[in-house]
């Protein structure tokens, strides 16, 4: 069954709420202030059973100029609009602004309803009909059915329901194939159940027990229960009004403007790349960096408009822009939005999201405009490849769906084609697949190779470039786990050596530079010739003339190569001396069965200062084991 949402629109006191009550039996004015003032302030909700058996959700919006932001929070997910105009007043300011808004949001299906016909005569009603048709002549509702009704007498309501049902057949159903996305328009707590959110499900299928994410807060939760039209359900599909009971979430953790979404399918961002349209009625040019009020779904945010290819945008004009918002918002490619002037507050334009999480752009860059054009109008292959080129990191299928607006099946098919064409690279690990543009992968490989070349030249004694240092400096936005998967892929291709902590070029072997080799040879010889009484490392460096930086490099190199073995602070034995000491101690224990510190000292011809560290080392190596003051044979590994 097709699901759809009907929204009201129109000037204050033109009878929107009375009409909804007449066709549904539900009074959507639930606040005491609304009852006292006789106007809608907040969003109201009802369900409508049409004559043919379809049930639609209805969102009743306030008409007063002061509550336009509440109106905008309600119309973001509607499929069909009831544009309501009172017959005794005709077209009024908020009629015009509401019509601008629903057109900016690309709602092109609707019914025009003339209300309060019991207050006018037939001649006046005909004049209003003509005025309304003229007003709608160049709009999306130019051909919409026009029905006259009276909520007092009931006249015209059978015709209205028939018109709604007829137009509803033309509504294109929302996709249930994409990732779940539910903009939140109400949040409240129910005793014994906890936090409940409501909204219009824009995409996907929501299921009881499913793990979801509240964005932009980043709160993970689970769907405890669902209601659609007041009835408990196990699933809810795109196009339905849904109440969702969320497990383990406090009311303070979610608010109007939040989005309930499939985990990692959307990325909150302060920036949005958009195609912007300025209404002809805007009255004046929109300047670059103008501060505006931004509305998307149920979210309102302040921000500035960075025009990417114009200094100013004239009324009626279109431009590519980057919106710089003062807080994180959650969007998907293709989402419609509205902007209002900061002061005075009035609707001046809107448009479509092209990239929901872009990098910051510089203005008047041909390559930026070309990329946006591809993302706006290109084929699925063009769109997906450009998205991955723009992405700061490899993306999973969930992220690609949110960033491109493509459906899951379409993404899978497109990625397969792009991999075959060697335009996209798959990077896998721990049972997950990530994807990146081949040009980006090759660019990274080139940059890493260049950095390793420089590093090996500057530090020839080191095993390689520390991986975490490379990631944090060059790829800070890249998750460490995904970074490891990329490096593993590059190692398989022979681009680099991937050690546990470091990276190196495939052919690189740590070795001293010519000017270092002689100094290191002197150091090694000095320690080796000292046998079982080696000088402390600081003394060795002083005698050889090793500076601090090179001294540390040389020490780490000799330890890594196994030439030196650390026995204590500043105390290092040459491997040959250590091997000889091991041989003598093992032979003595085999003959005598036990060994004291003094006997070891005499056996090696050294002093107690070196004997104790040696025996402790042999204890750790399990050549010996200490029992009282004696050493007995240990368990050799």
Token pair belonging to 185: 């328009």
Instruction: Give the three-class secondary structure for 614.
Output: helix
Token pair belonging to 452: 């390793």
At residue 125 the predicted structure's pLDDT band, cuts being 50, 70 and 90, is very high
Determine phi and psi for 146, rounding to 5 degrees: -120, 120
| Domains of the chain with bracketed CATH | 5-168 (3.40.50.300), 181-262 (2.40.30.10), 269-369 (2.40.30.10), 378-510 (1.10.10.10), 526-637 (1.10.10.10)
Measured distance CA(63)–CA(46) in Å, rounded: 17
Mean pLDDT value of segment 47-51: 88
Q: Which residue has the tokens 């990274």?
A: 444
Q: Within a 10 A sphere around the Cβ of 521, how many other Cβ atoms?
A: 12
Task: Give residue 42's pLDDT.
Answer: 53
> Could you tell me which of 549, 502, 547, 542 has the C-alpha nearest to residue 526?
542
Residues in contact with 542: Cβ distance below 8 Å, sequence separation at least 6, in sequence order: none
In the predicted structure, residue 162 carries a pLDDT above the cut 90: yes
Mean pLDDT value of segment 158-174: 92
Evaluate whether 10 touches 68 at the Cβ level (below 8 Å). no
Hey, which of 447-456, 505-514, 546-555 has the most confident mean pLDDT? Answer: 447-456
How many CA atoms does the CB half-sphere of 567 hold within 13 Å? 25
Task: Give residue 36's pLDDT.
Answer: 44
At residue 196 the predicted structure's pLDDT band, cuts being 50, 70 and 90, is very high
With b for 16 or more beta-carbon neighbours within 10 A and e for fewer, the 219-243 pattern comes to: bebebbbbbbbeeebeebbbbbbbb
How confident is the model over 398-436, as pLDDT tens digits?
Answer: 889 888 888 888 999 999 999 999 999 999 988 899 999
In the predicted structure, residue 57 carries a pLDDT above the cut 90: no
Q: Which residue has the higher pLDDT, 89 or 513?
A: 89
Evaluate whether 125 touches 87 at the Cβ level (below 8 Å). yes
Helix 93-104 and helix 122-136, axial crossing angle in degrees, nearest 10: 40
How confident is the model over 181-195, as pLDDT tens digits?
Answer: 999 988 999 888 899
> Could you tell me which of 423, 450, 425 has the C-alpha nearest to residue 435?
425
Task: Give residue 328's pLDDT.
Answer: 96
Instruction: Give the three-class secondary structure for 295.
Output: strand
Evaluate whether 19 touches 84 at the Cβ level (below 8 Å). yes
Q: Give the bridge partners for 434, in sequence order.
A: 427
Average per-residue pLDDT in the chain?
90
Phi-psi region of 496 (alpha: psi -120 to 50; beta: other; left: phi over 0): beta
Measured distance CA(423)–CA(438) in Å, rounded: 5
Length reported for the chain? 637
* Largest pairwise CA distance in the chain: 127
How confident is the model over 626-635, as pLDDT tens digits?
Answer: 999 899 998 7
Measured distance CA(319)–CA(274) in Å, rounded: 8
How confident is the model over 365-385, as pLDDT tens digits?
Answer: 999 999 999 999 889 999 999
Evaluate whether 391 touches 333 at the Cβ level (below 8 Å). no
In the predicted structure, residue 154 carries a pLDDT above the cut 80: yes
Q: Which residue has the higher pLDDT, 32 or 82?
A: 82
Task: Give residue 67's pLDDT.
Answer: 47
Cα 20 vs. chain centroid, distance in angstroms?
38
Task: Give residue 35's pLDDT.
Answer: 42
Measured distance CA(163)–CA(141) in Å, rounded: 14
Task: Give residue 316's pLDDT.
Answer: 95
Cα 174 vs. chain centroid, distance in angstroms?
23
- Quickly count helices (H) and strands (E) in the chain: 19, 34
Alpha carbon distance, N-terminus to C-terminus of the chain: 72
Q: Within a 10 A sphere around the Cβ of 562, how many other Cβ atoms?
A: 8
Measured distance CA(63)–CA(84) in Å, rounded: 10
Residues in contact with 121: Cβ distance below 8 Å, sequence separation at least 6, in sequence order: none
How confident is the model over 225-264, as pLDDT tens digits?
Answer: 999 988 899 999 998 999 999 999 999 999 999 999 998 8
How many CA atoms does the CB half-sphere of 291 hold within 13 Å? 6
Task: Give residue 74's pLDDT.
Answer: 64
At residue 71 the predicted structure's pLDDT band, cuts being 50, 70 and 90, is low
Task: Give residue 1's pLDDT.
Answer: 55
How many CA atoms does the CB half-sphere of 130 hold within 13 Å? 6
Mean pLDDT value of segment 276-286: 94
Q: Which residue has the higher pLDDT, 223 or 264?
A: 223
Measured distance CA(335)–CA(275) in Å, rounded: 11
In the predicted structure, residue 41 carries a pLDDT above the cut 60: no
Measured distance CA(585)–CA(604) in Å, rounded: 9
Task: Give residue 29's pLDDT.
Answer: 57
Indicate the DSSP class of residue 43: -
In the predicted structure, residue 58 carries a pLDDT above the cut 60: yes
């Amino acid at each position: 069954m097709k699901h759809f949402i009907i929204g009201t629109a129109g000037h204050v006191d033109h009878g929107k709420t009375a009409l909804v009550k007449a066709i549904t039996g539900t009074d959507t004015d639930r606040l005491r202030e609304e009852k006292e003032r006789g106007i809608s302030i907040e969003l109201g909700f009802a369900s409508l059973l049409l004559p043919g058996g379809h049930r639609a959700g209805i969102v009743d919006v306030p008409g007063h100029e002061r509550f336009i932001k509440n109106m905008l929070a309600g119309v973001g997910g509607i499929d069909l609009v009831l544009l309501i105009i009172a017959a005794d007043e005709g077209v009024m300011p908020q009629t015009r602004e509401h019509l601008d808004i629903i057109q900016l949001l690309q709602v092109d299906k609707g019914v025009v309803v003339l209300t309060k016909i019991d207050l006018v005569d037939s001649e006046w009603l005909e004049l209003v009909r003509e005025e309304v048709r003229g007003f709608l002549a160049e709009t999306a509702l130019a051909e919409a059915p026009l029905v006259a009704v009276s909520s007092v007498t009931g006249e015209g309501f059978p015709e209205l329901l028939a018109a709604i049902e007829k137009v509803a057949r033309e509504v294109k159903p929302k996709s249930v194939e994409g990732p779940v996305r539910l903009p939140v328009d109400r949040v409240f707590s129910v005793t014994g159940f906890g936090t409940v959110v409501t909204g219009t499900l824009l995409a996907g299928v929501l299921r009881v027990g499913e793990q979801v994410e509240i964005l932009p807060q980043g709160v993970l939760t689970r769907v405890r229960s669902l209601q659609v039209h007041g009835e408990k359900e196990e699933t809810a599909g795109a196009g339905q009004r849904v109440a969702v009971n969320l497990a383990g979430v406090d009311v303070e953790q979610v608010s109007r403007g939040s989005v309930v979404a499939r985990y990692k399918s959307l990325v909150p961002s302060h920036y949005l790349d958009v195609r912007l349209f300025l209404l002809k009625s805007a009255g004046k040019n929109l300047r670059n960096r103008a501060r505006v009020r931004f509305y998307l779904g149920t979210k309102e945010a302040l921000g500035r408009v960075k025009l990417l290819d114009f200094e100013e945008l004239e009324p009626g004009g279109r431009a590519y822009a980057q919106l710089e918002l003062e807080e994180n918002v959650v969007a998907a490619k293709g989402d419609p939005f509205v902007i209002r002037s900061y002061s005075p507050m009035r609707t001046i334009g809107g448009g479509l999201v092209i990239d929901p999480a872009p990098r910051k752009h510089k203005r008047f860059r041909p390559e930026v405009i070309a990329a946006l054009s591809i993302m706006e109008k290109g084929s699925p292959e063009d769109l997906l490849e450009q998205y991955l080129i723009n992405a700061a990191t490899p993306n999973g299928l969930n992220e690609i769906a949110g960033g491109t607006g493509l459906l899951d099946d379409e993404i899978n098919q497109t990625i397969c084609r792009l991999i075959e064409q060697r335009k996209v690279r798959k990077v896998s690990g721990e049972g997950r697949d990530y994807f990146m543009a081949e040009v980006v992968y090759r660019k990274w490989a080139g940059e890493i190779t260049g950095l390793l070349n420089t590093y090996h030249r500057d530090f020839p004694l080191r095993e390689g470039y520390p991986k975490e240092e490379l990631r944090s400096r060059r790829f800070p936005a890249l998750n460490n786990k995904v970074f490891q998967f990329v490096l593993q892929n590059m190692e398989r291709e022979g681009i680099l050596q991937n050690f546990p902590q470091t990276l190196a070029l495939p052919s690189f072997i740590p070795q001293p530079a010519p000017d270092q080799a002689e100094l290191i040879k002197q150091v090694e010889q000095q320690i080796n010739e000292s046998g079982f009484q080696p000088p402390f490392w600081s003394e060795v460096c002083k005698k050889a003339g090793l500076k601090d930086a090179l001294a540390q490099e040389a020490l780490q190199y000799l330890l890594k190569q196994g030439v030196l073995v650390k026995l204590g602070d500043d105390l290092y034995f040459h491997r040959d001396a250590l091997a000889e000491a091991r041989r003598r101690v093992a032979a003595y224990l085999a003959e005598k069965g036990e060994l004291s510190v003094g006997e070891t000292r005499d056996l090696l011809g050294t002093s107690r200062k070196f004997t104790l560290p040696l025996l402790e080392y042999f204890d750790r190596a399990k050549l010996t084991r200490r029992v009282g003051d004696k050493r007995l044979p240990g368990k050799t590994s």
